[in-house]
Structure 1
Amino acid sequence: MKILYQGGSGEIVEKKSRFIATTEKIETEEEALSFIGRMKKQYWDARHNCFAFVAGERQNLQRCSDDGEPAGTAGRPMLDVLLREDIHNMAVVVTRYFGGTLLGTGGLVRAYQKAVQEGLKNSVVIERIQGRLLTIESDYNSIGKIQYLLAQNQITAIDTVYTDKVVTEVMVPAEKLAGLQQEITEGTSGTAGFQVGKTAEFALIDGKIKIF
């Protein structure tokens, strides 16, 4: 499940109109409305503060608003970007400072969608994955092969401890667990040992594993 991990903002200019997109992580409608209220206070002098938000595992909570723009030219196109990107638990407000030139219906749709995309570029979106904690014990002769197989499967180690043996902890997507164990067993001629731990959701953030 893709979620907004850290909000951000981005700005575009279309025919002298400024479109400022601000994103925020939310989990409830109350959090979304509170964020929207803050943005309206911050940009009180803007002509429009349009918004869209989605929340829930199935994106079952959805709302959007054109905030005075022609119907269907702002809120819904903004929401469509979030749905198309399959992002959960986020809200976005696009603030428009009118530049004096009308953009037309199609121009508004494109501008609001482009603004949301710019906001997302400056935010941190992560994918939360259902996985299992796997502890791998091996000798020093096998660790190179294990590290190679982990890299081939795009699995990042949480920790590696070197004593008289090598103990490597990884979070493995649930659907890859059995296959990875088989690959490591074959690659190390059965010398590696495994301990399968808890089930948890995790994500790779800045090259590091975060467990939720």
Structure 2
Amino acid sequence: MQLQLSQLVPIPIREKISNRQSDVWLKELSISRGERIFIQAPSGTGKTTFIHMLYGLRYDFDGRISWNGKPLSAAQREDWAEIRQKELSVVFQDLRLFSDLSAWENLEIKRNLTNTVTEDEMAQWLERLGLKDKRNSLGQTLSYGEQQRVAIIRALLQPFQWLLMDEPFSHLDKANTAKAAALIQEVADRNNAGFILVDLDENDYFPYTKTMML
């Protein structure tokens, strides 16, 4: 699934970003499936807005976003439901876990909807990311770093051609970041998928195919 951006600019921050250099805003871009993209995005340049636009949650922009040549503006609600089930997955900055459900229940909802990962494999992922003992802990009792790791696992519990990530490791130490990045790399390779990661600072989490400035 190819991503094409044409003269894209978010309307609410148009003036703020119009006088700064960007590799994304107001450019012509074509990104092919399987690419691993890092976009450095200083505060206030539309990092989270960009991810929400790609995922079809915001339409307050000028220009065009197209997946496989189909503009987002032409996608209907049922189109988005299918895209998000089969082609796009996301790790939101605000994570969006159910606070009154356990870590396991948060994951099991997604696993049952997609049926692409076994229960045993999901349990192994929890253990790999140091969450084995947090399986039955409510979302609201988890630290932010623990919530991030649950949200990362949740995003991997479905088929995807693209994984969108908004500061996915911001509350993880180096050891846990390395474990989470390794799992993401493994599942992305399995799916022959690409990803787009936006973050504030330069990093070497992955062997990126392209690095850009928002």
Larger fraction in helix: 2
TM bucket (normalised to shorter chain) is under 0.3
With normalisation by structure 1, the TM-score equals 0.24
Which has the higher relative contact order, 1 or 2, with Cα contacts under 8 A spaced 6 or more apart? Answer: 2
With normalisation by structure 2, the TM-score equals 0.24
Q: Which has the larger radius of gyration?
A: 1
